[in-house]
Amino acid sequence: MTGPLLEVEALSVAFGPKLNPVRAVDAVSFTVNAGEAVGIVGESGSGKSVTSLAILRLVPDPPGRIVGGRIRFAGADLLSLPPARMPEIRGRDIGMIFQEPMSSLNPVMTIGDQITEAVMLHERISARRRRALALEMLDLVGIPNPAERFLSYPHQFSGGMRQRVMIAMALVCRPKLVIADEPTTALDVTIQAQVLALMNRIRSTFGTAILIISHDFGVIAEVADRVVVMYAGRIVEQGDVRSIFRHPAHPYTRGLLQSIPRLEDDRRRLYQIPGSVPAPGARSAGCPFCPRCPDRLPICANAMPPMAEVGPSHHTACWTNPGASVAGAQ
């Protein structure tokens, strides 16, 4: 297969009334190659979760709908598939790990039944082989005594264990891509580290591509090869992890990186980006970050900066980047 595994092109998702819709995701384009880990980072309301839901066409409709763009997965255009075909893709080709391990498992089903459910839907194999597959998966995600825990209910598991079960569920059909929406947000720090190590291990074992969504640069750095930074429904910067961490080109990315507390820091007060994300309805013609930007130029309030190259495989949409005016002139 040539080309990227997942190709999101100018994706736009709108919410609210048809006449006055609010764009939660606006012209977002990025790709995920086979076996690659890509992170989407941004603060609350930046559209990162909606983007991930849109890939599986899980945006709740109403009130949301995908209003433009294309999503190509392994050569197929997901947005033009009839809705009845989507369940074949979900779980089998693209697995999803949710944010809330506490409530993302059905409290009245044994975890064994929940893990085998996806296999039952997508593959015609015997109940014994399904069970064997699920046990193998439970073992792989680090659940001790899988055969015994197979019959346990979710309330008998701690949060970290449930997240492992969720990961086992997402991976049991060996999908080509796993979307993890804030997989560690609800967990405490030591468990976070274990879960991230597990995700890395799974990627190297199965060659699964990972799309990880987080507000936490540390989580992204742990897992991802490439980073997509989103702000107010738009991509403001994307590139490989190293160059974004070393040379963040967009003021928003710089702000996010500076906001990470450090132990050796002796500042009295933690850094913060002034202001907050603009309400989705109240966006102007210019760069959405302009009102909060420390480096704003006169042009910023009036025109949206185009995506322009900063370095090899590193792009940003900012007028302070010298490439932007060149790209804008074209």
The distance from CA 89 to its chain's CA centroid, rounded to whole angstroms, is 18
Q: Residues 105, 241, 249, 300: which binds another protein (CB under 8 A)?
A: 105
Nearest 5°: phi and psi at 316? Answer: -145, 155
Residues of span 222-281 touching another protein by CB under 8 A: none
Alpha-carbon gap, residue 97 to 177, rounded angstroms: 11
Burial of 137 (0-12, 13-18, 19+ CB in 10 A): buried
Residue 320 lies near another protein (rule: CB under 8 A): no
Q: Residues 92, 131, 174, 254: which binds another protein (CB under 8 A)?
A: 92
Q: Computed from CA positions of residues 43, 166, 171, 58, in that sequence, does the dihedral angle turn out positive or negative?
A: negative
Residue 123 lies near another protein (rule: CB under 8 A): no
Residue corresponding to tokens 């302009």:
290
Q: Which CB sits closer to another protein, 173 or 308?
A: 173
Alpha-carbon gap, residue 29 to 12, rounded angstroms: 10
Residue 153 lies near another protein (rule: CB under 8 A): yes
For the CB of residue 63, give the shortest distance to another protein in the complex, in Å: 12
Stretch of 9-17, 84-92, 221-229, 233-241 contacting another protein, by CB under 8 A: 84-92
Alpha-carbon gap, residue 188 to 132, rounded angstroms: 31
- Token reading at 232: 């107010």
Q: Residues 10, 76, 121, 260: which binds another protein (CB under 8 A)?
A: 121
For residue 293, the one-letter residue type is: C
The full DSSP string for 88-106 is HHBTTTEEEE-S-TTTSS-
Residues of span 169-188 touching another protein by CB under 8 A: 169-170
Q: Residues 17, 76, 205, 242: which binds another protein (CB under 8 A)?
A: 205
Q: Which CB sits closer to another protein, 71 or 118?
A: 118
Q: Which residues contact 16 (CB under 8 A, 6 or more apart)?
A: 22, 63
Residue 13 lies near another protein (rule: CB under 8 A): no
Residue 157 lies near another protein (rule: CB under 8 A): yes
Residues lying near another protein in the complex (CB under 8 A) are found at 56, 58, 86-92, 95-96, 98-100, 103-109, 117-118, 121-122, 139-144, 152-153, 155-158, 160-161, 166, 169-170, 191, 194, 197-198, 201, 205
